[in-house]
Amino acid sequence: MLDWKTRVNIIKQVAHVLEYMHHDYSPPIIHRDISSKNILLNSKMEGFVADFGVAKVLDANASIKLAYNIIVTEKCDVYSFGVLALETLGGKHPGDLLMSLNSSNQHGATFESILDKSIPYPNDTPIENEILRV
């Protein structure tokens, strides 16, 4: 079971990898398959991005047009990263999280309703602030 600090650190590490691939590596690389199944953890619980099988290399400041008029930019990875962050903080697949929020009588999601309920609510203010930032 991953604690809140570890979860936040994994999300940050993946964000740094994506920033490097999109902005610091030349030519930029778009992963196109950012998901929990492609994040590997080492013995120190550090997150690493894996499986570059569908990745594309971009010309600087360009995009790639694939079949069916799908345009590949870094936005593909950014969206997937958001889903990954939601899954990491919620402790379940985002589809399941959305279904549980829709089935409840809530008028919008609260911070507490999104967080994984299998571990205690973060009572450490710095960690709570980091979770809010994510």
* Spatial distance between the Cα atoms of 23 and 47, rounded to a whole number of angstroms: 19
Q: CA 88, 51, 133: angle at the middle one, nearest 5?
A: 30
Q: CB–CB of 49/17 below 8 Å?
A: yes
Q: From the candidates 24, 33, 51, 116, give the one annotated as an active-site residue.
A: 33
Picking from 10, 34, 36, the residue whose alpha carbon sits closest to that of residue 92 is 36
> Does the annotation mark 116 as catalytic?
no
Instruction: Show which residues are catalytic.
Output: 33
